[in-house]
Chain A
């Protein structure tokens, strides 16, 4: 579409308007790639594009001019709302200046473009901040709201799938069925004692799922709860415990994970984070590092909250079962003391558990102090200590820490 301009009317514009300017340019009409060497006349209301012999090829109003991307020193013009890609390329600096002065749409100096960019950056910053806030506060809340709608059967199924994986990872000595303690010679009394201890806690906890606690042959002082109520206690933990209530405290902590359905919670939170930080914020050339860093920080913040909740549950459950709620703090202090707390200070960030000192302080703050009887008598406790005695323990120092 060509808008036909009235003939030049210098009198129609105020005298402040600059004089008309002419200059050479290259013109493509948008229907073919033929190159036209033209003369461009910058008039009062628009450009007149003239080929040889004064043949007028086109006339463009200033209001419809658009600056297209071009190399340094070239003004490339197109027209807005035009499906044809007609282009005018001008290298004449004086002519460029004259056109830029008259056509406000050309955004001389790029001020309008810079304003737009600042707005985009500000909006992106706001959107990024809102996504981070959603990740910190929204994702855990959403996960808690969704959990009641996930049937326990699905959680058991998830637990069974995780169990297969985790057994393969933990069983580094390839013991197979013998990986779990209690089946070997002389181990049966230990199993009975464990069942007694677990029974007391389970009765007090009144869980909607059946607990299954297995002691496994691993040297580290640790325990893991899987979704669906399956708990693995490493025999290293039993060796570290100096009283039955210390072991019971850790068990109660793991039962807390089961009661709070933390396995399912982790799956949901990870999915939420993957969506927010994998898809919305996306990985851009090499900058995926930002996203990975943000995810690491958020994950550890989630797990701190989850661990603190399980600690509080342990204190409460131990009190209800008639045990010593402080015992969890005591065994935690011993485990950390043996490892040497501040050895890997800079790696704290990657650890799942909150600062042990803070945890112990939190446990002692909520636990009531009163004299209690041990949850197992001396004979049962000795039997439980022997639960893994059937198979001679191999050197387990080579196995890495887990859980």
Chain B
């Protein structure tokens, strides 16, 4: 529950809540996972629609809930359209790669860039589909703006992020969020994004130093310990294995430095991931603006840590259960199953191995979706507080529903969101 802000007129005018019960979401997810399994994934359009309906309709802003009006058949149509576009594209790319055997590297790079662009295009268009299917108080959200420009923009920013080893990430995020929110509206209320890249940078710098820092240090340390003469000598001898080169020229110290750096980096990444999530979510929610309506997030980092700890606990229990299941299966097969070497033994073993594999993968994904994704959604909603919510009372409707092509492309390219 939110404590009423003394400044706001109506006590709940700016309150955001999540009403859905976790039990209902478990049921939805488990049933969906089972149907996905049976239909080899063809059920995913209906499943995604059910999930969105649940999340949207249980999110209450100022006493009114959101509504998701998208249909599964629209997603299916978007997917089929995307297939119709991608199959010829893949064929052309493969054909070009075979025809130009001299420039294979170049065609691979061009194909990769093209697919990244298409992926970002799809993400932007999919966001448009979801926004135009989001209705609040009888008025829909909307997103305009050219998806290709966003894709180019995103490609450029991600290149810079990689080139700066992640240091540019805050500014990339701020810039891309500004682009998205500038082209977002709720009725005649235009969106904007007020989050600052520099502020995010300052807050995130310690995380970067602990995660990427050790690897950068190790890189310089290796530069200092390598015996360059020995290295040149070995290269002249025709040695091309980089590991052999390093060991030969710097000795066992290479392993010590690399292991220390990697273990520090991985341990920091695992320990700080919830902190990073909390920081990003607080920053993102607090930056959202619709006209005079602003949002502040009072999300506490410890709440995110609690979510991840619970996830780890549930995962451990699930893996324990799987382990017991494996043991029981092995026992039953050995005790009552067909003889070793009989014609039935091999298909049976294969079926059990595959079944367990699929069970584990789907189970882990379901646990993650409920224990992390839903919990983060709930936390994000309940820690948010709207300011200037009175402006929400007089928004005029604009816009129309958009096509589901972006959703289809995102699905076919495997880059989807919620």
Query: Which A residues contact B (CB, under 8 angstroms)?
Result: 26, 28-35, 68-72, 74, 76, 83-87, 89, 117, 120-121, 124-125, 127-128, 131-132, 154, 157-158, 161, 174, 176, 271, 275, 279-291, 293-294, 296-297, 342, 345-346, 348-349, 355
Interface of B, secondary structure class, is helix
Contact A342 to B357, CB < 8 A, known contacts A30-B138, A33-B395, A132-B40: no
User: Are B98 and A157 in contact, with the CB atoms below 8 A?
Assistant: yes
User: Are A120 and B341 in contact, with the CB atoms below 8 A?
Assistant: no
User: Which of A76, A132, A293 has the most C-beta atoms of chain B within 10 angstroms of its own C-beta?
Assistant: A293
Chain A residue contacts of B397, Cβ below 8 A? 30-33, 84-85
Instruction: List 26 A-B residue pairs with CB atoms under 8 Å apart, sorted by A's residue number.
Output: A28-B138, A32-B395, A32-B397, A33-B137, A34-B394, A71-B58, A85-B138, A87-B67, A117-B46, A120-B46, A124-B39, A124-B43, A125-B39, A157-B101, A174-B238, A279-B87, A282-B41, A282-B412, A286-B366, A288-B361, A289-B357, A289-B360, A289-B362, A290-B36, A290-B37, A349-B353
User: Are B350 and A284 in contact, with the CB atoms below 8 A?
Assistant: no
Which residue of chain A has its CB nearest to the CB of B140?
A: A85
User: Are A349 and B349 in contact, with the CB atoms below 8 A?
Assistant: yes
Please give the distance in Å from B318's CB to the nearest CB on chain A. 13
User: Are B393 and A71 in contact, with the CB atoms below 8 A?
Assistant: no
User: Are B69 and A71 in contact, with the CB atoms below 8 A?
Assistant: no
**In which size bucket is the chain B interface?**
35 or more
User: Are A68 and B69 in contact, with the CB atoms below 8 A?
Assistant: yes
Chain B residue contacts of A348, Cβ below 8 A? 346, 349-350
Please give the distance in Å from A285's CB to the nearest CB on chain B. 5
For residue B165, CB closer than 8 A to chain A, the reply is no
Which residue of chain B has its CB nearest to the CB of A276?
A: B40
The answer, among B139, B358, B364, for a CB contact under 8 Å with A290, is B358
A289 to B20, CA, bound (A): 29
The answer, among B43, B138, B362, for a CB contact under 8 Å with A33, is B138
The answer, among B20, B46, B140, for a CB contact under 8 Å with A71, is B20
The answer, among B67, B72, B346, B353, for a CB contact under 8 Å with A70, is B67
User: Are B137 and A35 in contact, with the CB atoms below 8 A?
Assistant: yes
User: Are B65 and A74 in contact, with the CB atoms below 8 A?
Assistant: yes
User: Are B57 and A70 in contact, with the CB atoms below 8 A?
Assistant: yes
Please give the distance in Å from A161's CB to the nearest CB on chain B. 7
Chain B residue contacts of A120, Cβ below 8 A? 43, 46, 72
For residue B136, CB closer than 8 A to chain A, the reply is yes
Chain B residue contacts of A346, Cβ below 8 A? 349, 353
A290 to B411, CA, bound (A): 16
Query: Which B residues contact A (CB, under 8 angstroms)?
Result: 19-20, 24, 33, 35-44, 46-47, 53, 56-58, 60, 64-65, 67-69, 72, 79, 83, 86-87, 94, 98, 101, 104, 135-140, 187, 238-241, 340-341, 345-346, 349-350, 353-354, 357-358, 360-362, 364-366, 368-369, 392-397, 400, 411-412, 414
A294 to B38, CA, bound (A): 12
A89 to B354, CA, bound (A): 48
The answer, among B68, B345, B414, for a CB contact under 8 Å with A69, is B68
A83 to B53, CA, bound (A): 20
A125 to B98, CA, bound (A): 37
Chain A residue contacts of B43, Cβ below 8 A? 120-121, 124
Chain B residue contacts of A281, Cβ below 8 A? 40-42
User: Are B138 and A291 in contact, with the CB atoms below 8 A?
Assistant: no
User: Are B411 and A33 in contact, with the CB atoms below 8 A?
Assistant: no
A71 to B63, CA, bound (A): 12
Chain A residue contacts of B42, Cβ below 8 A? 124, 127-128, 281
Please give the distance in Å from B182's CB to the nearest CB on chain A. 21
Please give the distance in Å from A375's CB to the nearest CB on chain B. 34
Contact A71 to B36, CB < 8 A, known contacts A127-B42, A282-B44, A287-B41: no
Which residue of chain A has its CB nearest to the CB of B341?
A: A342
User: Are B369 and A35 in contact, with the CB atoms below 8 A?
Assistant: no
Which residue of chain B has its CB nearest to the CB of A158?
A: B98
Chain A residue contacts of B361, Cβ below 8 A? 286-290
User: Are A287 and B37 in contact, with the CB atoms below 8 A?
Assistant: yes
Chain B residue contacts of A71, Cβ below 8 A? 19-20, 57-58, 60, 65
Please give the distance in Å from A333's CB to the nearest CB on chain B. 15
Contact A294 to B40, CB < 8 A, known contacts A157-B98, A286-B362: yes
Chain A residue contacts of B140, Cβ below 8 A? 85
User: Are B64 and A35 in contact, with the CB atoms below 8 A?
Assistant: yes
A293 to B355, CA, bound (A): 9
Which residue of chain A has its CB nearest to the CB of B73?
A: A120
User: Are A28 and B137 in contact, with the CB atoms below 8 A?
Assistant: yes
